[in-house]
Amino acid sequence: MSEQNIEQHNYDNIYDEIDTPQKIVKFLERKNGIKQMFDSKKYSVTELVKCSRQIFYKKNRTPTEEILEETIGGMWCSVRGEFLHKITTAYSWNELETEYSVILDDNKTATVVGRLDMYDEKTKTILDLKTTNNVRWQAKRGILLKPEHVKQIQIYYTMFSKLIPVEHLNLVYADMTDIITYTIPLKDRSKWIANKIQIIETDIENGLIPPGEVTRKCQFCKYQTRCEKQGEGLDKKST
């Protein structure tokens, strides 16, 4: 056997070929428009902090309706958000993903998928970016810091603190002219996560519709008509 063949033989014995990592496969599938089978027990963090009834409708694939927000103005808000999210590239650690498992009462597992906007490894800080209108005006009136945003970044802390050191949480609000940052207290949300998912999964299994959690955001919800008609939710739809 030649020296070259011996080297190749040794190479083959040392290095084993394995399957392509799943995150790469999923990325390629998304870029090629390939949809995976719907997983009713998988939740995103942004989804989890929404109204329980809205999540229930989505998990049951309830048909949506058109709303007033679906206008040129609404589309601009979406694009504006994409522009402003370029801020995340200020940190070398950005768009970090992980999954968090929750064991349900029936011993089945639900999964929460989370993606961090930014992480500062020097100060051990998680930063979550929110794009909105009139940042300074909202801040002066005390309406900028949203409870669901506080809950969301604390869920990120719960998920990621097991993987990376986290000592600080920062919520960053930005519009086209201003940026305001708030420091948020660390809080373990593991019990809250498990409880909310368990309630929703139990309602789905039993065909029970959870009460609506009525807020100003209901005007942007695509289930307004159904929610109004099924009680314990909207009293009057906005569209």
Q: What are residue 111's phi and psi, to 5 degrees?
A: -125, 135
pLDDT, residue 28, reads 72
Q: Are 98 and 159 in contact (CB under 8 A)?
A: yes
pLDDT, residue 86, reads 79
37 within some domain: no
Range of the structural domain that residue 145 is part of = 42-229
pLDDT tens-digit profile of 196-207? 999 999 999 998
Residues 146-155, mean pLDDT to the nearest whole number:
96
137 within some domain: yes
pLDDT, residue 90, reads 85
Percent of the chain with pLDDT over 70: 79
User: CATH number of the domain that 92 lies in?
Assistant: 3.90.320.10
pLDDT, residue 238, reads 72
Q: How far apart are the C-alpha atoms of 112 and 58, rounded to whole Å?
A: 15
Residues 6 or more apart whose Cβ sits within 8 Å of residue 221? 51, 54, 67, 227
N-to-C CA span, the chain: 79
206 within some domain: yes
115 within some domain: yes
Q: Which of 182, 110, 193 is nearest to 151 (CA)?
A: 193
125 within some domain: yes
Q: Which of 95, 84, 86, 87 is nearest to 132 (CA)?
A: 84
> 122: which 2 tokens?
């020097």
Q: How far apart are the C-alpha atoms of 107 and 65, rounded to whole Å?
A: 35
pLDDT tens-digit profile of 35-50? 554 456 899 999 999 9
Pairing of strands 93-103, 168-174: unpaired
Buried b (16+ CB within 10 A) or exposed e, 94-110: bebeeebebeeeeeeeb
Q: Report which of residues 104 and 17 the model is more confident about.
A: 104
pLDDT, residue 38, reads 44
pLDDT tens-digit profile of 123-142? 999 999 998 889 999 999 99
- Please give the helix or strand (H or E) that residue 7 lies within, else none: helix 3-14
93 within some domain: yes
**Per the structure, how many domains does the chain have?**
1
Angle at the Cα of 171 from the Cα atoms of 170 and 175, rounded to 5 degrees: 135
8 within some domain: no
Residues 6 or more apart whose Cβ sits within 8 Å of residue 144? 132, 135, 138, 173, 180
170 within some domain: yes
pLDDT tens-digit profile of 77-121? 555 666 677 788 888 898 899 999 999 999 999 999 999 999 999
